[in-house]
């Protein structure tokens, strides 16, 4: 009976936390993370702004949860398929449609380099996973003859991620820059020359 009583409030708290993250992700996608965005999130969820921090210990923790939700939505975008280099332009297109989240990601990834930052481990693990996945795919494509073999697969993965992050920052300053095209151009550099 005691266990059942604990589950109810706990389940409701987790549900409210999930609602806050989803709502914040939607709001930040268009409004960004600064200014009145947190107040707007609280209004949409039906709580006071201060109540948001009953569910998150800090603004950084909420920010990290939103970035994880952004990643989850990117995985849903590609469906059941394993993440591939070929998915990069589609992810870039989605990012162009969510300027607030794109700016949040750029700022957070640049400021979370200190180990004490709440999002430090998130970004560290994210980059390790992306490099590993890209290197695996580059290796496979090198073996099949699709990609040139004079570049180390791990460095190819790091360079693709660097291009993605860098072109994203350029796009934040100049919306005329196509993230999708920048990624296509970078991917083309890995192709093996045709006879």
Q: What is the pLDDT of residue 3?
A: 43
Residue 80: inside a domain? yes
CATH of the domain at 169: 1.10.357.10
Per-residue pLDDT reduced to its tens digit, 23-51: 888 888 888 777 678 888 888 988 888 88
Q: Is residue 31 part of a domain?
A: yes
Residue 161 lies in a domain: yes
Note the pLDDT tens digit of each residue in 116-146: 888 888 899 999 999 999 999 999 999 999 9
If pLDDT is split at 50, 70 and 90, which confidence band does 70 have? Answer: confident
**Integer Cα distance of 160 and 190 in angstroms:** 10
Average pLDDT score over residue span 46-73: 85
| pLDDT at residue 195, as a whole number | 61
Within a domain: 71: yes
62 in any annotated domain: yes
Share of the chain above pLDDT 70, in %: 91
Alpha-carbon torsion angle 81, 82, 83, 89, nearest 10: -30
Q: For residue 58, tell me if it sits in a domain.
A: yes
pLDDT at 16: 86
Residue 2 has pLDDT above 50, yes or no: no
Residue range of the domain that includes 160: 2-190
Q: Would you say residue 167 has pLDDT above 90?
A: yes
Tell me which residue of 163, 112, 111 sits closest to 134, measured CA to CA: 163
- Provide the pLDDT for residue 80: 60
* Whole-prediction pTM: 0.80
Look at phi and psi of residue 82 and say left if phi exceeds 0, alpha if psi is from -120 to 50, else beta.
beta
Q: Is residue 170 part of a domain?
A: yes
Residue 5 reports pLDDT greater than 50: no
State the SS3 of 148-195: CCCCCHHHHHHHHHHHHHHHHHHHHHCCCCCHHHHHHHHHHHHECCCC
What's the rounded mean pLDDT across residues 77-103?
83
Number of compact structural domains in the chain: 1
Determine the pLDDT at residue 1: 41
Assigned domain for 195 exists = no
Per-residue pLDDT, 6: 46
pLDDT of 77 over the 80 cut: no
The answer to whether residues 120 and 113 touch, using CB atoms and an 8 Å cutoff, is: yes
pLDDT of residue 50: 85
C-alpha distances out from residue 40 to 3, 49, 51, 58, 161, Å: 35, 8, 13, 17, 33
């Amino acid at each position: 009976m005691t266990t059942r009583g604990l589950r109810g409030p706990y389940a409701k708290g987790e549900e409210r936390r999930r609602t806050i993250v989803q709502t914040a992700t939607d709001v930040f996608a268009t409004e960004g993370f600064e200014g009145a965005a947190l107040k707007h999130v609280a209004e949409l969820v039906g709580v006071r702004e201060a109540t948001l921090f009953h569910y998150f210990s800090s603004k950084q923790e909420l920010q990290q949860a939103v970035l994880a939700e952004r990643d989850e939505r990117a995985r849903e975008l590609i469906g059941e398929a394993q993440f591939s280099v070929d998915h990069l332009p589609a992810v870039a297109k989605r990012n162009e449609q969510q300027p607030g989240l794109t700016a949040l990601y750029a700022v957070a990834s640049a400021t979370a380099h200190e180990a004490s930052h709440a999002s430090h481990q998130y970004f560290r693990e994210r980059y390790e996973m992306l490099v590993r996945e890209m290197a695996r795919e580059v290796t496979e494509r090198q073996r099949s003859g699709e990609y040139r073999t004079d570049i180390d697969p791990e460095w190819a993965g790091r360079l693709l991620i660097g291009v993605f992050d860098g072109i994203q920052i350029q796009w934040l300053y100049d919306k005329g820059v196509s993230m999708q095209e920048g990624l296509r151009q970078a991917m083309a550099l890995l192709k093996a020359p045709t006879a």
